[in-house]
Each structure stands twice: as C-alpha cells, then as structure tokens.
Amino acid sequence: MPDGHARLRLHLCGASFVLVAAIYLSTGTMAPYGVTVQYPAVLEPCHYLINVDHAHFQALSRMISGDDPSSWAWSVVLRRPLFAILAQPFVLAAGFLTGGVIASIVLNVIAMLVFASYVRQVVGPRGAITTAWLLATYPGITYWAGLPYSYVMIVPGALCCAMFLDRIATAETAGAVSRAAFGMGIVFLGYDLYPFFIPAAVFVLLAGRRSRWIPAFIAVVLLPLIGLTLYYELIGVPVVNSNSVMYLRIIFSYLHPAELQLWLRTLAELPKLLVSNFLFSNFVFLPLLFVVAMILARISATRVLSLADGALLLAGLALFLFNNAAPPYYGWQMRGEWIARLYQPIVPAFLFACARVAENIGGRWRTIWLPAVAITVLANASIAFGPILMNPLAARVYHDFYMHSPAESMLVNLRRFGRRPLGFCSTNHAWDNIPNPNTPLNRPQFMFRYPPR
C-alpha cells in the first residue's frame, strides 16, 4: 500500500488528468460559454463556437502585444488584463484561441494543485484529496476554461484570494497583512473579485481586533488597480464604460429610490432568489454537499468553517442583498435568477468546509459523507463532460448558472455544429444560414427594468 504522501500524489495526478480532459472536451464547438448561446458567433475556418464578446477579449491580447491603441482601446474589459498577460507566451506560440486555451489549462491545473496542497497543509491529506476531486470535476472551471477570456481567472483567482484571506486571518504583523493584500490586488487585475474579498478581509480584521491594519490593507490591495487606472488615463483610455458602470447605477438607485410598489415586489422575491442563487451559482451539487457538510458538522460537533470562510460567505450574502434589494433601475440588471454566476467566487468556502469534514469526521457519519462526496463528483463530472456526452442535465445546469439564452441552446448547437474540440476542424457550411447574433431580435433581452410590469 502506498504511504500517505504517495497516495496524495496519485490522487493529484489522477485529478489533474481528469481536469485536463474536461477542459479540452469543453473547447472548439463544445466550449460552454459559446455553445450555450442561442446564436453563437462562429470562428472560421473550423467553425468553432465562441461568445459574441470574443473581440473584446482578443483586444486585451493586442494591448499586451503592444499593438496600436486603435485596435484595442474600445474594449470594455481592459480592467482585467492579468490572464492576457499570463497567456501571452502561449498566444505568441500558438495563436489567440489555441494558445489561450493551453494557458487556461495550465493555469487551472496549477491552481488546483496549489490549492489542494494548501488544504493539505492547513487541513490534512484526506481533505486535500477531496478538494482535488471536487475541483477536477467542477463545472465552474469547464464553463469558462474552453475560451481564452478573462473569465478563466474566476476560479483560480478566487482560490488564490481565499488562501490570502486565510493568511490574513492568522497574520500576526501588519507586514504579513500587507503582503497578502498586495497579492490579492494583483489577482484582482484578472477578474472583479473586490466585492467578495475586500469586505471579507475587513471583517476578518475587525473580528480579530486588528482594525488598525484596515487602512493599510485597503491602500495596498487597491494599489495595482490604481496603477492600472493611471496608466489608462495617461494614454487616454476611459476606465468607466458600459460594462464597469453597472454597480454605480445600483448605488445611485439607493440614493434616489423610485416606484415604491415595484421595489416592494422585488423585495418580496428575496428568499426565493437567495436559494436559487445559492444553488445555481456553483452548479447545484457542490452547494448541496456543503449543506450536508454543515449538517454533519452540527451533528458531530465538528468545526468546519474558519473565520475566513465565514467572512467570505458573509461578503457573498452582502453582495447578493446589495444587488437584489436595490430599488428599480434601468440598464443591465445585476439581480434575479438569470445571473447566479455572480456569486461563484464563494466556492473556496464550500471547498474548505468539505475538506474539513473529510478530514475530521469519522464513525457512522463517515458512511454518509463518503457516498455524498462520490455522488457530487460523479454528478459534477457528468456536467463538466456534458457537451461531449450530450447530457441534458449539463444543458440545464449550465443554463441556470447563466441564463443568457434558452435552456435548450446547448443541445441544439451541438447537434447543429457537431462535437469537435480544438484540433478537429470541419469546413462543412451546412449552418451558414444561422441568424446573425448581432441583430436586435437575437440579443439577450435583459436590458430593461426588473421586474417587468
């Protein structure tokens, strides 16, 4: 029998293989963020499916390459350059799509291994093994990882920030807090994780009676963003655009509330929306496993939530209430069931809790826990490998994660375009008469006041 370290290495190798396979089989015509769109954009010459915002992310790569600003300054996602920077060597070697996907695979595998190793350090080997398999089959990775967009950073970034947050919770000096804050700030250049991890860190510092370190933390964590903003201002590129202005609109709605009756109707929906967003933001099965973990922890008197985990969950709840309890406003809505994906970054708290149960629970409760983990891993794997399997459950769960198109879109597009990962090219033009995704009738209809009268 292999010893503990060898057993962990075997599991990490197996989980890495599964994750690479899951991501690769979520590329080409099977990339979930492309194939779940009702009228996806089609990339020539192989007819791979991409999201209609593809050009905005490609512009980031042009910026990193040093191209003229006229070819990239119009992009609305310039505040998220980190993945484009990390992917640039791969893009130069293999092109934007293929190179970016290779970078995505490398980044996600490294993130899984680093996070599992961290769990091994702070929780234990059984917790690390559980974490590795939950991440290897996690649909929240495969949904984004098959296309070279900044969304690839969501899961690795959240895992990285969760480790920094855990370090802040145990830090004994202001220098240690500042180093973790700077690391967070760098990660925030990959994706907008500020609303989760800045409030969570402030809560951790307050709970630890280290409030005197909060100003330094905030100053340091915002330093990379301030530097990026100054750079864009110097070259005349606006930072506030139609994509980044959404949270400002919500703030203004609180400052100038209107239409009281409509507002009260939205408030009445909060409990239902909370349950829906909790489940679908992390693809149903992992949140349900978290609930099982909390119940077993309560019954067996096992502590599974650290201060950092609780703070992250509290920050997620605060963001949910900020978005969904807002008075009515016009524009893209950051509320409702349609955009549960906003709360995906709370996933590290679920993983830490499950790892602690796996490590510490024993006796008859373990006979409940192990099948629950196995069911979760298999169910999530059926979603992560859903496009190649033509799994209707995957189509439904991916849709509930981000309702930008009808639920049947994934299966319809797979039948129409075939199931071909990157490297398998087809020049069949049987689908040339597909409607243009940029026509007004085909755009997502989420641009109006919520809820409708």
Tens digit of each residue's pLDDT (9 = 90 or more) over 223-273? 999 999 999 988 888 777 766 677 888 998 998 888 888 899 989 999 999
Q: Does residue 450 fall inside a structural domain?
A: no
How many Cα atoms are found within 13 Å in the side-chain-facing hemisphere of 6? 3
Task: Using pLDDT thresholds of 50, 70 and 90, give the confidence band for residue 447.
Answer: very low
pLDDT at site 242: 66
**Helices (DSSP H) in 42-173: which residue ranges?**
54-64, 82-94, 96-122, 125-136, 139-145, 154-170
Structural domains in the chain (count): 1
191: nearest Cα among 159, 232, 219: 159
- Quick check: 450 pLDDT over 70? no
- Quick check: 442 pLDDT over 70? no
Task: Using pLDDT thresholds of 50, 70 and 90, give the confidence band for residue 440.
Answer: very low
Q: Does residue 21 fall inside a structural domain?
A: yes
Predicted structure pTM score: 0.93
pLDDT at site 428: 67
pLDDT at site 1: 46
- Quick check: 63 pLDDT over 60? yes
CA distance 31 to 37: 10
CA distance 370 to 358: 8
Q: Does residue 445 fall inside a structural domain?
A: no
- Quick check: 70 pLDDT over 60? yes
Q: Does residue 41 fall inside a structural domain?
A: yes
- The stretch 402-430 carries a mean pLDDT of 90
pLDDT at site 119: 98
Neighbours of 330 (CB within 10 A): 11
All residues at 6 or more sequence positions from 413 whose CB lies less than 8 Å from its CB, including other chains:
29, 35, 36, 37, 40, 49
Q: Per-residue pLDDT tens for 326-354?
A: 999 887 889 999 999 999 999 999 999 99
Q: Per-residue pLDDT tens for 347-406?
A: 999 999 999 999 998 888 999 999 999 999 999 999 999 999 999 999 999 999 999 999
CA distance 449 to 330: 5
Q: Does residue 431 fall inside a structural domain?
A: no
Cis peptide leading into residue 148 (ω within 30°): no
Element housing 194 (H / E): helix 194-207
Average pLDDT in the chain = 91
Q: Does residue 296 fall inside a structural domain?
A: yes
Phi, psi for residue 42 in degrees, rounded to 5: -115, 125
- Quick check: 171 pLDDT over 60? yes
Q: Does residue 64 fall inside a structural domain?
A: yes
pLDDT at site 321: 97
**What percent of the chain clears pLDDT 70, i.e. is strictly above it?**
93
pLDDT at site 249: 86
Domain of residue 76, residue span? 4-425
Q: Which of 13-17, 166-170, 422-426 has the lowest mean pLDDT?
A: 422-426
Q: Does residue 334 fall inside a structural domain?
A: yes
